[in-house]
Amino acid sequence: MALLAFAADVVTEGTVLGADRTRTPDEVTRVLGPDFGENRRDDVMWRDYGLVEFFWERRSRHAPWTGTHFSVQVHRLDRADPGLVEEAIEKRYGVLTGARLRFDDLRASVDGRGGALREVPEASPGCRVYRHSGSQASVVVMDDGYVWSISAP
């Protein structure tokens, strides 16, 4: 399953196609492509590429951007929106839209690769959060057992 392979890679590697939070905005755009929505203030910026969002901050208007985290909005995939998934991701993994990802399947795949997903305390009702012991990526799982999102520090 394409979605399972993609999600397991993100969780175990803590990257999206090799891009992690340390990448600059230009570097992420070279990986994911130029089609994104951008929200920017003097000290924070985030880019929404469709499925993936990257976040940066800086100390002043003239300082360079420093990455803080990224998130993969897995819940968006159950809609079959054309153009939602970045072309580079589809080129590597295939079609991801129109699918849902069960946490039990992701956990089994991740466990088979090394490292473990351990539940962490979370204040949000209706979901559970798990963190990968190696990459420190977090997986938000709704009470129905489906993955909502994956993020990496």
Q: Where do the structural domains in the chain lie, given as residue ranges?
A: 2-152
Model pLDDT for residues 84-136, shown as the tens digit of each residue = 999 999 999 999 999 999 999 999 999 989 889 999 987 688 999 999 999 99
Structure tokens at 153: 């520090």
Sheet holding 37-40, edge to edge: 37-40, 44-48, 52-57, 66-72, 147-152, 138-142, 127-132, 117-120
Model pLDDT for residues 40-98, shown as the tens digit of each residue = 999 999 999 999 999 999 999 999 999 999 999 999 998 877 789 999 999 999 999 99
CB 151: neighbour CB atoms within 10 A? 21
Which residues 6+ apart lie within 8 Å of 79 measured at CB? Answer: 97, 98
Which residues on neighbouring strands pair with residue 57, listed in sequence order?
A: 44, 66
Cα–Cα nearest to 101, from 150, 152, 136, 50: 150
Above 90 in pLDDT, residue 24? yes
What pLDDT shows up at residue 31? 98
What pLDDT shows up at residue 1? 83
Give CA–CA dist 146/75, Å, rounded: 8
Q: What global pTM score does this model have?
A: 0.94
